[in-house]
Structure 1
Amino acid sequence: MLDRSKAPGAFPIEKIKFPSANKHILKNGIVVNSVNLGEQPVFKFELSTKAGGIHSDVAGLASLTAQLMKRGTSKHDALHIHQSFDFHGAFWDIQATLDQATFTVYGLVKHFGALMPYVADMIQMCIFPEQEFQKELEIEIQKNKLNWEKTAYSASQLIRKNLYGDDPYGRAAKPESLALLNVNDLITFYKKTWASHTPSIFLSGKISNEEIKVLESTLGKLAFNSKEQILVPDPIFMEPSSTKETREDALQSSIRLGIKSINRKNKDYFKFSVLNTLLGGFFGSRLQKNIREEKGFTYGISSSLVPMYRSGYWAVGTDVKNENVKETISEVKKEMQILRDELVSEEELSLVKNYLMGSFTGELTQAFDIAEKIKIIELEGLDADYYDQFQDQIFSCTPNEIRDLANKYLDPSKLTEVVVGGN
């Protein structure tokens, strides 16, 4: 009989081989990475292209363009497109991040051929009706106003602004800047990016050659005419600073601490991930134990590595009562300094390694998750064996390396501090 008074035994996780994708190149040069895995007849389609925030001159333009692409093409109006996706039980969305823009579709494999012609139309034939633009712009302005009223949103935007300054990574859309946009701005940006540059496609689920044939007959027939390389200079980080934005009616304050860091291309990234997890990257982290469990200042606090294509930064985020702001920041700096001064125990390091490896292996059971990691490799120009290297580096990480990395990357005196909240 099972003895429930005893915890189940823990076993070390062994390295597993990261799956590879099937690669197809369509006649027009689009590279398709496909992952065929799973028994359910479903698919996830992602088309990624260089139409993110860093490719525009105005904050918010890339996101607004992505939203308006849903409002009709020269072949079909918005109602017809939306009804067609709904009829086939598909979920779809178009979004722009800082680095990339992505067209995503989830659906049943049997409807793949019916859906892709609409995707192809929206890549090059969107018309951006003026009336639809005005409606969407007003919605975006109101949403943006509401977001800036939230302390957590404001603090997250300000930490990037204070780290990156006027670089595209530091820009944030505001109601007044959105109001200056007109429909011609969207059309120009769309033609220069979505309609011109050859995208990448990532396809996962129960995939066969039939889906590749569909892509060849739809997206494979598009002509992408831009040979221009979109080059964006590396960002210049700002000097460390401290910002306090007061909201008179706020009972809590949102704290964001940030520091210049690295992205996935840096050789230290893997083991820095171990350091970050130990400090604030999971529920058993040091920041959680100190500031949540012992001090009771917050319901949650976390640290994270934020890797982007051109750089990266490390950040800590939490929300606390106004009277606990100074002590919370002080305790974060104290925990950073401890890692710079003292060796982590083998027991704690082993716990973190097992957590990271457990999370990683858990993400390799679904085709959609595997494709997401392959997308990172392809779009960020990483080595094909990147995730095999990741496992090797996690397993080999030592207490001395953790301390060395803390001294290299976690200097409390170089923190940029942002607090948005009450007095």
Structure 2
Amino acid sequence: MNFIMTPDRITPPEIQPMPMLHMPPAIVTETPSGATVYRYSGGDAPATRISISIEGGLAGIATPEIGALLAPLWIEGTRDMDAETIADFIDYRGAWINTDMGIRTMNLTVNALNHNFDEILPVLSGIVSAPTFPDDRLRQVALRTAAAVGVERSTTAWNASAALRAMVYGDGHPLRRETDADLLCDVTSQQLHDVYFSHLHPANIKAFISGRLSDATLGEVTAMLNSIPATGTPEKVTVPEFRPSASRRTHITMPNAQQSAVRMGLLLPGRENPDFVAIRLLVLALGGYFGSRLMLNVREDKGYTYGINAVTIGYPHQAYMSISAEADAAYVEPLIAETISEMERMKDESSYTADEIDRLRRLSLSGLAAMLDTPFTIMDHHRSSVLAGAPSDYFARQQEAIYNLSAESLAELARRYFDTSALFIATAGV
């Protein structure tokens, strides 16, 4: 007689503790031309990802308008191929290409299958070594970007965020600059060319390659990097020190706004500070996930907003916490008051429950575990750590801080760093 087992849908499975995690190191080498290569080989998928980062970025580019246009125009034509040919070539081979403008670097990423990676590499070489920033594409991208910027600038969220950045970064800081839609169409192809090639130098390049790598692939990548011309000079773009405003509160009046936006900021120590990792966990507890204190209080209990979050924006020497929410104008001041109250409450260790600490620990550990899923996520960790200027043992530091989580440690951090009298508050709306 055959018996069919009925699944037990009542008893939850036993939850096992997360084992100690280990982040495999990337192998770091330097090409004869001076480019730095980070590589990690692993996984079963016959695929390769290469990301090339060139010193420059928003902190090193002359104007935000050039920064907004340079990345999308980067892949719109080379000395040997126009935009359509590049797009067709990449698509036909099942590859994917993307560019972005980071804080300190210009970034280009290509994902490709191993069996045609050698065909795609010459195209990548042309994009890095000989982009043309064609005039016809520039006009299209400038108009499209200007329209998007115009729409974005009409929102309360953008205005409050821009006002907060202005107070936190201060006058003259490159990261407080905002893109002017009216100036985008004044940018010329020659300007993009001059800015790009002023930064292009093998010593300014970091390449991150991951996947199931062969010696042949690594040799081809090295040869490609060695062929990049040195049209600029070696440099290391850094984020200048903040010059925070003396003003702590500002409001942008927008008479037709349906909702108001609230942005709050607080200066914190940077990534080089030994407390930084633990501070990130404190900010996570405050507003970094759906079960955070701000979500439970301001959203679930008070109903002031559909969503509120807090994040840590970190640089090597300085950082700040940014709190974001949208609410009806009538709830703006109560929302701010409850946020401050919650920050103050976190200074009391008796306000933490064992369940809250357990949630934080499990959430944070699962995030670390996800970084180990594939060779690509492993390299994503190394890449983000290198570009952010994080210490080489950053993964281990995070794991140690997570296991050491306690009500006492979080309360002590809150007492030390949550100075609510030093909050910057920007609002936009009626």
Same fold (TM over 0.5): yes
Determine the structure 2 residue equivalent to 1:119. Answer: 124
Determine the structure 1 residue equivalent to 2:405. Answer: 397
Segments of 5+ residues of structure 2 without an aligned counterpart are 1-5
Determine the structure 1 residue equivalent to 2:305. Answer: 298
Report how many residues are paired. 422
Cα distance between partner residues in 1 of 2:368 and 2:317: 25
Q: CA deviation at 1:189?
A: 0.9
1:113 is matched by which residue type in structure 2? D
Q: TM-score w.r.t. structure 2 length? A: 0.92
Deviations 1:127-157 (A, max 9, x none): 2222322222122111110111222233223
Q: CA deviation at 1:338?
A: 0.6
Determine the structure 1 residue equivalent to 2:83. Answer: 78
Q: The residue matched to 1:70 in structure 2 has which SS? A: coil
Q: Is the 8 A contact 1:28 1:223 kept in 2?
A: no
Determine the structure 2 residue equivalent to 1:409. Answer: 417
Deviations 1:358-398 (A, max 9, x none): 22112211221111111133234443322112211221233
Q: Is the 8 A contact 1:53 1:60 kept in 2?
A: no
Cα distance between partner residues in 2 of 1:185 and 1:404: 51
Q: Is the 8 A contact 2:36 2:203 kept in 1?
A: no
Q: Is the 8 A contact 1:133 1:183 kept in 2?
A: yes
Determine the structure 1 residue equivalent to 2:215. Answer: 209
Q: Is the 8 A contact 2:160 2:426 kept in 1?
A: yes
Q: Is the 8 A contact 1:287 1:332 kept in 2?
A: yes
Q: The residue matched to 2:64 in structure 1 has which SS? A: coil
Does residue 234 of the first structure (1) align with residue 280 of the second (2)?
no
Determine the structure 1 residue equivalent to 2:3. Answer: none
Determine the structure 1 residue equivalent to 2:72. Answer: 67
Equivalent of residue 366 in structure 1, options 371, 374, 394: 374
Q: Is the 8 A contact 2:76 2:83 kept in 1?
A: yes
Identity %: 24
Determine the structure 2 residue equivalent to 1:23. Answer: 28
Runs ≥4 in structure 1, deviation > 6 angstroms?
none
Equivalent of residue 175 in structure 2, options 164, 169, 176: 169
- The correspondence of residues 122-141 of structure 1 with structure 2, limited to 5 A, is 122-141=127-146
Cα distance between partner residues in 2 of 1:380 and 1:97: 10
Q: TM-score w.r.t. structure 1 length? A: 0.93
Of residues 191-200 and 27-36 in structure 1, the stretch that sits farther from structure 2 once superposed is 191-200
Cα distance between partner residues in 2 of 1:243 and 1:93: 37
Determine the structure 1 residue equivalent to 2:147. Answer: 142
Equivalent of residue 229 in structure 2, options 219, 223, 234: 223
Determine the structure 2 residue equivalent to 1:186. Answer: 192
1:377 is matched by which residue type in structure 2? S
Give the RMSD, CA atoms, in angstroms.
Answer: 2.0
Segments of 5+ residues of structure 1 without an aligned counterpart are none
Q: CA deviation at 1:215?
A: 0.5
Q: The residue matched to 2:118 in structure 1 has which SS? A: helix
